[in-house]
A = this chain, B = another copy of it.
């Protein structure tokens, strides 16, 4: 059972232009810092949080209960001028879990509803030590030599963006996986349990569609941290052994 949490800022859009549009760099700093605090608070509890749209952040929260969600929510409310609502969804695939969370959030009130404030919706999955989570950590092979140190910075960014879009689309459509760009040339995907051939097809798909050559480490675990750290070690093995795919239990 996969558990995700949708964290949505309460009535944020209207706030950003009231009474006048606020300075863009201040808004960027606010969004980045609020996300950083969420990432640390979720990370301390062995989950993963992704920036996503900044005002809607998707987290993987297996092992984190309702009460801990409420504590994180209260803590953010003391630090920031905007509050958050959180919806905890579960499902057999990452897509199902986030769709469940989204429906619960929508039932609790609209993103621009002035009446919805600091809701915690949904029920957390019972804690389990099953290795039910798969995290895949991708990066671009030799990004520094091929792109960063050779091309214009925006050109490189576009290339990575294109690779990310293609990968995200493929993994979502084919497997219900959720992929997030996490900076540099890195993409972290929350996946259902997939065979190695599925990853081979994904790398192939991206290379054909965009020319970008990826490698990937895949890890499993009871929590996002456990699966994600195994994936990172897998990616290190890709780099050292010049293989394109490393599965946690190869």
Contact = CB atoms under 8 A, between A and B. Distances in A.
A126 interface: no
Given A56-B148, A152-B99, A21 B184 contact: no
A237 to B, nearest CB: 11
A52 to B, nearest CB: 5
A192 interface: no
A157 B29 contact: no
Prevailing SS type, chain A contact patch: helix
A74 B105 CA distance: 31
Given A98-B152, A112-B144, A161-B168, A25 B42 contact: yes
A54 interface: yes
Contacts of A201: none
A228 B153 CA distance: 22
A158 B172 contact: yes
Interface of A: 6, 8, 12-13, 17, 21-33, 35-37, 39-45, 47-49, 51-56, 58, 71, 74-75, 77-81, 95, 98-99, 101-103, 105-106, 110-112, 144, 148-158, 160-162, 165, 168-169, 172, 178, 182-185, 188, 225, 228-229, 232-233, 235-236
